Chains A and B, each alone.
Chain A
């Protein structure tokens, strides 16, 4: 008799906790993003793997640069909001971060 085996399998999520009072860094978010975009399997032929790894690192630098820009822009906006609301000390504190 022939039969077919089927299984439901689960993977394992990892959990990262930042230091108290600190959010995720740009590099941490970049790694999460790049990990979602590109996966290089362990059994890929070496020549292809090398190209994929190089492309992954290129993507990493691109994503990182845009995340840095987003962070700066968000801070600019937040500083503007604080200044407009009259919280100049808070705005200055944020500007110096």
Chain B
């Protein structure tokens, strides 16, 4: 099975029901959980992913020294508009002193019953060994930001 980078389809609908709020400080709490290594993933994760439980149900979340199940909290950056595109951003996230292998990640909303937001594919297995693993979100610009509505 595999990871395919995609905005979760249910997330698009949930935006229309005011389920997700990315406002910095006062908005919802989002977390980023890491998937296992490519060869170990048994489920299919991508646009059809609806919830963090999809990751755990397939036992596809990574584990290792320094990593806590559920992942780490993201810091929201309030969405903005540029031209006719609205987009959001998160502060870069570092898993410090970890030993694990991960192929991708799931961002989900813990304030909304762990509703899935986006599946990220790192492109290859990443394997920190008692080191730091930093996920750098793309530039907050209309053509690059992590989640954009154009």
Complex: chain A residue closest to B12, CB-CB: A8
B112: Cβ under 8 A from any A Cβ:
no
Knowing A9-B150, A15-B136, say if A39 contacts B129 (CB, 8 Å): no
Chain A residues lying within 8 Å of B147, measured Cβ to Cβ, are 8-11
B133: nearest chain-A partner, CB-CB: A17
B118 touches A41 (CB 8 A): no
Q: Does B138 contact A13, Cβ atoms closer than 8 Å?
A: yes
Which residue from B94, B141, B146 sits with its C-beta under 8 Å from A13? B146
- The count of residues in chain B whose C-beta lies closer than 8 Å to any C-beta of chain A is 37
Instruction: Please tell me if the beta carbons of B6 and A10 are within 8 angstroms of each other in the complex.
Output: yes
Residue A14 at the chain B interface, CB threshold 8 Å: yes
How many whole Å from B94's CB to the nearest CB in chain A? 7
Chain B residues with Cβ below 8 Å from A15 are 122, 126, 133-136
Q: List 27 A-B contacts (CB under 8 A).
A: A6-B150, A8-B7, A8-B12, A8-B149, A8-B150, A9-B7, A10-B146, A10-B148, A11-B139, A12-B120, A12-B138, A13-B105, A13-B122, A13-B146, A14-B135, A14-B136, A15-B133, A17-B126, A17-B127, A18-B128, A20-B131, A21-B130, A23-B96, A23-B132, A32-B92, A32-B134, A36-B92
Binding site for B on A (CB under 8 A): 6-24, 28, 32, 35-36, 39, 41
Lowest 3 CB-CB distances: which A-B pairs, in order? Answer: A11-B138, A18-B131, A20-B129
- Kindly list 13 other residue pairs between chains A and B, CB separation below 8 angstroms, not including A10-B7, A13-B136: A10-B147, A11-B148, A13-B122, A13-B138, A14-B136, A15-B126, A16-B134, A17-B132, A20-B130, A20-B131, A23-B96, A32-B134, A35-B136
